Chain A
Amino acid sequence: EPEVTQTPSHQVTQMGQEVILRCVPISNHLYFYWYRQILGQKVEFLVSFYNNEISEKSEIFDDQFSVERPDGSNFTLKIRSTKLEDSAMYFCASSEYGGIINQPQHFGDGTRLSIL
C-alpha cells in the first residue's frame, strides 16, 4: 500500500537555525498537510497546500514557517529560525481529494524535531 514518507525521522538543531522537514506524499494525491504534536499534547493542524499554494493555515503557522513543493514529489516544511518551543513531532499527510469528507487519511511516521 502506498505510504507517505518523511525524512529525517529525527532532527536535532540548534536554536536559531533553519530546518527543513521533508515529505514525499502518495504519488496521485493532490492535497498536502502538515501537523505537529508537542510531547504529551494534542495533534495540531499547521497548514494545508493545494495547487502550489497554501489553502489554509492555523495561527501556529506564522512567518517563521513556510511550505513548498519544489519538484513535484517532495513537500517541505521550513522553519526559518527555530525556537525551543518548535520541538515537536511533525507529521505530513496527503489526500487524493480535498474537503471535509475526504480528510487526510494517509499520515507519515513523523519527524521528531529537537531544538537545543
Chain B
Amino acid sequence: AQSVTQLGSHVSVSEGALVLLRCNYSSSVPPYLFWYVQYPNQGLQLLLKYTTGATLVKGINGFEAEFKKSETSFHLTKPSAHMSDAAEYFCAVSSQNTGNQFYFGTGTSLTVIP
C-alpha cells in the first residue's frame, strides 16, 4: 500500500523567507513522487516530479524537492517566498505497481505574509 503524509495543513511564511513544505511517503516499492500546486478556483498544476535519477529535483517557479530514501521524505522548498506562491500544495506518490493511480496527501495551505 502507498500513502503520503503532509505535516502541517497550514504554513505561513513572510515574503522573502524560506518555504518548507513537508511530505513523507510510505511505499513498499520504489516510489514516484510529485508535488502539485492548486491556486484558488483552479485545477492542479504539476510543480515537479521525481521518478528516477538525481534526487534533487527542480521545478517551476523556483521550487525544488529532494528525495531522501532513508527518511522516506520528499520535502518541497523555495529559498525566497513570493506573494504569488500563496496556494494549496499537494504531495502525491505513485509507482509502477499502482498503474495510473496517484495517492495524494491532504494538502498544505501556504500563506505568504507581506
Chain A interface (Cβ < 8 Å from any Cβ of B): 4, 6, 31, 33, 35, 41-45, 48, 55-56, 58, 91, 93, 98-101, 103, 105, 107-110
Shortest C-beta distance, B35 to chain A (Å), equals 12
B contact residues, total (Cβ < 8 Å)? 25
B106 contacts A109, CB within 8 Å?
no
28 contacts between A and B (CB under 8 A): A33-B100, A42-B90, A42-B104, A42-B107, A43-B90, A43-B102, A45-B100, A45-B101, A45-B103, A48-B99, A48-B101, A55-B99, A56-B100, A56-B101, A93-B43, A93-B44, A99-B100, A100-B51, A100-B94, A100-B96, A100-B100, A103-B94, A103-B100, A103-B102, A105-B46, A107-B44, A109-B42, A110-B42
B25 within 8 A of A: no
A108 contacts B43, CB within 8 Å?
yes
The docked-state distance in angstroms from the alpha carbon of A105 to that of B36 is 9
B43 contacts A41, CB within 8 Å?
no
B74 within 8 A of A: no
Residues of B within 8 Å of A48, CB to CB, are: 99-101
B98 contacts A100, CB within 8 Å?
yes
Residues of A within 8 Å of B102, CB to CB, are: 35, 43, 45, 103
Question: Closest chain A residue to B105 by CB distance?
Answer: A42
B82 within 8 A of A: no
